[in-house]
Amino acid sequence: MWQSELIASDAIGRVMEFWGFKRNMGRVWTVLYLADRPLSAHDLRERLQLSAGAVSMTLKELSAWGTVRKVWIQGERRDHFAAEGDLWKMVSRVFRQRELLEVQEVVASLERAITALDERVADPRSPDDARRAEVQRERLRQLLELSRLGRRLLEGLVFEAKVDARALARVLLGRDRE
């Protein structure tokens, strides 16, 4: 492997691990992305010094995410693989399938928490309970507003490839910043 491939694949592997993926997913994808032709699993094993099982599992995971695809090469018996070349398509798929779903679940959970709190407020057991409920209601609403904003930002990024950060500034700074 060239030094440039080694440095780049290690860097992308680290960032992939930071995002919660396996380091080898980033390393394998980078080697394929930088390659001038599709590579076989054998080629990847040799270049990255990985076991056959590690390469096989990694290619399967990358294929499931749509970041690697099998490529047929006439006259070759082995499967060959190529990296997704459209970086935005790849990143937006991850945002849509992972981050957006998580934020949507947070929004739903916070809405349920507010409903549960409203039921509690309807029948406070003491003045302390009433104060505690008011503090929680305000803070839950702030968290919900931020979560809904996060959902809108991700939707804008994923579906429209643009983000308006003014709403984020209002929520985080408590005022308009134009």
DSSP string for 26-79? HHHHHHHHH-SS-EEHHHHHHHHT--HHHHHHHHHHHHHTTSEEEE--TT--S-
Beta carbons within 10 angstroms of residue 139's beta carbon: 10
67 part of a folded domain: yes
> In this structure, are 168 and 92 located in the same domain?
yes
> In this structure, are 98 and 73 located in the same domain?
no
Q: Which of 54, 85, 116 is the last residue of a domain?
A: 85
57 part of a folded domain: yes
Q: Quick: pLDDT tens for 74-122.
A: 888 899 999 998 888 888 888 888 888 899 999 999 999 999 998 777 7
| Residue 151: pLDDT over 60 | yes
Q: Which domain holds residue 14?
A: 3-85
> In this structure, are 93 and 131 located in the same domain?
yes
What is the 8-class DSSP label of residue 122? T
Q: What is the pLDDT of residue 177?
A: 43
Q: Which of 52, 85, 118 is the last residue of a domain?
A: 85
